[in-house]
Every structure is written in C-alpha cells, then in structure tokens.
Amino acid sequence: MKNFKTIIEPFRIKSVEPIYLSTEEERKNYLEEAHYNPFKLKSEQVIIDFLTDSGTSAMSSKQWAGVMEGDESYAGSKSWIRMEKVIRELTGFEYILPTHQGRAAERILYGYLGSKGKIFISNTHFDTTRANIEFSGASAIDIPIPEGTQPSLYHPFKGNIDLGKLETLIKIHGANNIGGVIITVTNNSGGGQPVSMENVREVSKLCRIHKVNFFLDCCRIAENAYFINHREDGYRNKSYREIAQEMFSMADGAVMSAKKDALVNMGGFLALKNKQMAEACTNLLIITEGFSTYGGLSGRDMEAISTGLGEVFDPGYLKYRIRSTEYLGQRLQSMGIPILLPVGGHAVYIDAKALYSHIPVNHYPGQALVCELYLKGGIRSCEIGSVMFGKYNNQKKLIPASMELVRLAIPRRVYTQSHIEFVIEVFEKILKEKDSSRGYKITYEPEFLRHFTAKFEKV
Ligand SMILES: *Cc1c(COP(=O)(O)O)cnc(C)c1O
C-alpha cells in the first residue's frame, strides 16, 4: 500500500456491535444525571467512546480462538506457560508475574518499594501509578523535559525525562531514598508522546551509576517503538519488536497494562530482573491477586494476551494505528482546534485552556469541553488537567495541573474512518459555539483519583 495516500483499516469486520444514536435532548438529561462527569454515563448513552483506549480494543479472530483454547487449571496451566514464555522473550526479564491489570502490578511493586520518605521519579507518572506510590506513603515527582509541557511546540520525543533534573534529584534526595525511576512509554498523561532510545539509555546509565531501580511503564511500548523507528537516527532498519527489546534490556523491570498494547480487554503483568524483588512481589501477588501462575487472570485471558503481544508489533497494524490517530489530529488542527503537537500514538489531546481561553482554570476548561463533546455529538472523552491532577494548597485554593488537556483516546481496531469524519464534524460545531461554553465547579470529590467519581455543577 506504498503509493496510496488513503490509509485503510488493515482488517475486515466479522462481528458488529450496534450503537444507539441518541438525540441531543436525551444527552442533556443523561449528562445531568451523571453530574457532568462522563465516567458516570452508561456506555449505551455514548455514540463514540473516546474515554480511554484501555481495555477497549477489538480482539482478532486469532485472539478469540485463543479464548476457547484457554486452560483454566488452577496451577501450571498451559496458557500461563505460553504467556510467561511470550513475555520473557519480549522483555528479556526472568521473572514474570501475571496481574489482572496494570495497577495491580503497580500496587505490588510500588507497595513493596515505597514507604514514607521514599521518592519516585518519572517523565510523568500515570494517575494510577501516582496514586499507588502516594498510597504507599512515598512521593512521586514528574520531570518531563520543558518542551513536554508546551502543547503547541514540536519536539520528536516530547515524552523524554529531563536528565539534568533527574541527576540533581538523585543527588539532593540520596540514591537510598529513591524508590525507583519510572519511564512511561509512551507518556500517556503527557500527551501520548514517545520517549527516545537515547533518553532511556541515559536514564539507565544514571540509575546504574547511583544504584537506583529503573522501571519501564511499558503499556504502549509498541507505539513508542514505531516513533523511534521513524524519528530516531539508527533505528530505520530495526523491527518494532527489536526496538522494544532494546529498551527492555536497559531496565530492571517493567509494569504493563495489557489493556493497551497487548490488545486485550483485561490483563497486565510485572516483569523483573532481580530474584529477591521478584520473590517479595510474588508473595504480595499471592495474597491479593491469585496464585503465581494466573494472578487474577483466566487461562483464556492469558491466551489472548500472548497472541495480542505478537499482533501489536505487526508493521501493518502499527502504521494504521499511528497514522489514523494522526489523521484525526491533523484535521482538527487545520480547522483551528488547538491540539497538542505532534500527535501522539493512542490519542489526540486538545488544549482546552487555549480553546476556551475565557474559562479560568479553577472552572476547569477541560471539563467544559468534555461536556460539550458529549452534548453535541455523544462523544465521550477524558479530562487530563486540573480535574485529574489538581491539588489544593492550605487555603483550599486550587494548584492547577501544568496543562488543561482533553484526551480523545482511540480504541484499537474499533472505529472506522466514517466514525472519525463524524467526530471532525462535531468539532466544527464546538468551534462555532465556543464562546458560549461555561466552566464547572466540583460539588463532590473523593481523596484519591477524584476524576473517576467527582460531581460537577455548571458555574
Ligand atoms: C492504563 C495505564 C496504567 C494502569 O493500568 P490499568 O490496567 O488501567 O490498571 C498504568 N500506566 C499507564 C501509562 C497506563 O496507560
């Protein structure tokens, strides 16, 4: 398909799921009932669901066939033996712990390494990563490169960590107090932006010198490998899988939510190099997740993960994945919607602060856009800004997040070109009526991960 400009979906559809096409009047009521928090909407009330790319992938016929092949034995199931082998070969790590999703692996690893006084450092901790670290009593510090927090600036590897700051932090706090350095590939909360191999190499060197643990949050490592192949010198002739393997080889372990680049609806794992750490984590795994040969997963889930981890590195798939996300981004940009540039791997991020410059950050411009997208087009999206990451100072005044983004996360292999054309049309309406949009205030919020259950009211 080299000499064509149209990117086609590299699959045919074998099974379909109907979408209910609601009216704007209906959606107005649904949104009110959901307290203006799309996490509280019923999925049937949504037309295009861009809330997350997590666990929303369409599985292939081979994965579904694997579901029937699942060996549901309690111990030593052959589905586990296959999954362990697939992950060992991909990551090069000796110890593989299956978990029901990414955050379970995070809770085990960071619960084990974290305690009061400990520090974790990352290009950007994902929300569940931060929550698990903070829940252990430790603190989480984000140090993306400065380019990473300027939405309109182009940089090929905006997901990179600031190496100068990393070295300073290790020196200030002392290597003994660093629970670990975590590189998230791609940087989900920072716009789905890739991290370069060079950056990972330097992090690895620093961590080795100071004897600090270095982990990859590798949820989207295949998408990250695509960007390295296309943007970084010296990787043109390496396969996506080889690029991922090189990256794994520089870390002490990895945490993965298989709900992303393993193309499944549920699952995760923790992969470790160090035997002692693996044994301690296995004990925690058995207490809360399950025995070490299934860890909260069914045999059928493990079959689907093993197959998905192979399919995700297929060049045809990755090209379609990255180029189709970029297509939506480019169309929105050319219409005048401020987006985070360059377009990341799994999502298009709208700069809501720039779009709704009349809404102050303490009225959550991102939440305003999320609500408008739902009202106008039944599109469900996710605020990644001060609702998700905002904190309060002693006077209960909002300390805003560094950016006010709205993420349109694209489920893998789920929507077609015409769905995307519809989304573009909804944005034309949003743009036309942007000055009449108003902000929101929070009327209820829990202590951790407040965006999931917070309630809002229009200001
Ligand atoms: C999704 C995600 C997680 C958490 O995984 P879950 O499967 O949702 O528990 C952690 N880190 C990153 C970067 C993610 O995208």
CA–CA distance, 57 with 264 (Å, rounded to integer):
6
- The pLDDT tens digits for 281-318 are 999 999 999 999 999 999 999 999 999 999 999 999 99
User: Of 109, 101, 100, 98, whose CA–CA distance to 132 is shortest?
Assistant: 109
- The pLDDT tens digits for 210-264 are 999 999 999 999 999 999 999 999 999 999 999 999 999 999 999 999 999 999 9
Neighbours of 160 (CB within 10 A): 26
| Residue among 103, 184, 215, 449 to mutate when testing ligand 1 (max atoms within 8 A of CB) | 103
Question: What lines the ligand 1 site, CB under 6 Å?
Answer: 54, 101-103, 126, 128-129, 184, 188, 217, 219, 257, 259-260, 268
- Judge whether residue 182 has pLDDT over 80: yes
What pLDDT score does 152 carry? 86
268 CA to centre of ligand 1 in angstroms: 9
As a whole number of Å, the CA-based R_g of the chain is 21
Instruction: Collect all residues with Cβ–Cβ distance below 8 Å to 100 and sequence separation of at least 6.
Output: 266, 267, 268, 289, 295, 296, 297
Tell which atom from ligand 1 comes closest to the C-alpha of 104. Answer: 9
pTM: 0.94
Contact 123, 195 (CB under 8 A): yes
What pLDDT score does 5 carry? 82
178 CA to centre of ligand 1 in angstroms: 22
Mean pLDDT score, 153-173? 97
CA–CA distance, 324 with 329 (Å, rounded to integer):
9
- Judge whether residue 443 has pLDDT over 80: yes
Burial of 135 (0-12, 13-18, 19+ CB in 10 A): middle
User: Which pLDDT band, with edges at 50, 70 and 90, does 402 fall under?
Assistant: confident
Mean pLDDT score, 381-404? 90
- Judge whether residue 18 has pLDDT over 90: yes
User: Which pLDDT band, with edges at 50, 70 and 90, does 137 fall under?
Assistant: very high
Mean pLDDT score, 24-47? 97
Side chain identity, residue 39: F
Q: What is the dihedral of CA 436, 374, 41, 45, to 10 degrees?
A: 130
Look-up: residue for tokens 């005044």? 397
Structural domains of the chain ordered from first start: 24-53+314-458 (3.90.1150.10), 61-311 (3.40.640.10)
